[in-house]
Chains A and B, each alone.
Chain A
Amino acid sequence: ELTQPPSVSVSPGQTARITCSGHALPNQFASWYQQKPGQAPVLLIYKDSERPSGIPERFSGSSSGTTVTFTISGVQAEDEGDYYCQSADNTGTVVFGGGTKLTVL
């Protein structure tokens, strides 16, 4: 199970951090997705901190123990949306966090 805060609010230009906690995370990798209303999710981070091609550098990820953190540096209005963490175990099971709604004030 992965636990995320239901909501995070941040002003434009500030740094947003979204956490994801899970007891198995020290032995797993995390991915992060952004979802805007009516759209499919988009992969932003995989293997804790790697960015797919085309994803801006202001999106980053880190891991420490049972918590992984997704960071947006210099938040823009277009970053508003829902963010999900995801991990997979070595039996093949994939799990998502409950999601965090990011509001840009």
Chain B
Amino acid sequence: QVQLQESGPGLLKPSETLYLTCTLSGHSITSDYYWGWVRQPPGRGLEWIGTIYHSGTTYYNPSLRSRVTISIDASKKKFSLALTSSTAADTAVYYCAREKGTNMLTRAIDQWGQGTLVTVSS
């Protein structure tokens, strides 16, 4: 059974870097899936942040590209998110996720972590 678990600080100050890690269990991180991050501000909709393939190839939301880095440690079955220069607008529930798809166009998120609330506040 595939399980994804987010971990990281729940509170940070403006301008700090947000770091989150997702630990995968019950599945191989080097299988033919993509691994990504999605966030949801309180009371609002879903926003895709970015995705990584086990080869290290990354894809980022154009609106966040300048501040986002997603990395993967296949040996530890973990992938991570770093978001620099945080502001209150980055306050959200952050989900790590598994994306399936035979090509770029068919990607869909078929497994989600439970989500972790990150608050940016002074």
Contacts and interface: CB of A to CB of B under 8 A. Distances in A.
Interface of A: 27-29, 31, 33, 35, 40-43, 46-47, 52, 82, 84, 86, 88-99
A43 B106 contact: no
Contacts of A82: 45
Given A33-B109, A41-B109, A92 B51 contact: yes
Tier of interface size on chain B: 20 to 34
Contacts of A40: 95, 112-115
Given A40-B95, A93-B59, A99 B108 contact: no
Nearest to A87: B105
A7 to B, nearest CB: 13
A40 B48 CA distance: 14
Contacts of A27: 105
Nearest to A95: B48
Interface in B103-122: 103-110, 112-115
Given A40-B115, A99-B46, A94 B110 contact: no
A88 B25 CA distance: 26
A84 B115 contact: no
A41 to B, nearest CB: 6
Contacts of B109: 31, 33, 41, 43, 86
Given A99-B45, A99-B46, A47 B104 contact: no
Interface in B41-62: 45-48, 51, 59, 61-62
A84 B45 contact: yes
Contacts of A28: 105
Nearest to B47: A96
Contacts of B59: 91-94
A86 B105 contact: no
